[in-house]
Amino acid sequence: MTGNPEHESLPLWTGVSERRKWGSLLICLGLAFLTFATTSWLIKGDSEDLFFLPWTLGAGVLLLGSLLAERALIQIPANSKESPTTES
């Protein structure tokens, strides 16, 4: 909390190769589509009031999956003198 706010987190996709970045995003997109398709199939014919549910769940899975993948794949640069958890 008292540290410099510029060094509290790493920039997006730091140290991740293009292949791994796009691969993880394609996997997240596939999971979001499967979520959308499954939810659409499960509520098919039940109610017209739930038309937004597959879109909302698909978007949520895409957002959460890409966020988790990005944070799991980032790497601290070797030439960095400070780690993001170090307090000043």
Judge residue 48's burial from the number of C-beta atoms within 10 Å of its C-beta, 0-12 exposed, 13-18 middle, 19 or more buried: exposed
8: left (phi over 0), alpha (psi -120 to 50) or beta: alpha
Of residues 88 and 58, more confidence is placed in: 58
DSSP 10: P
User: pTM (2 decimals)?
Assistant: 0.71
Single-letter amino acid, residue 73: L
pLDDT in tens, 30-48: 999 999 999 999 988 767 7
Contact 31, 61 (CB under 8 A): yes
What residue has token string 């070797």?
78
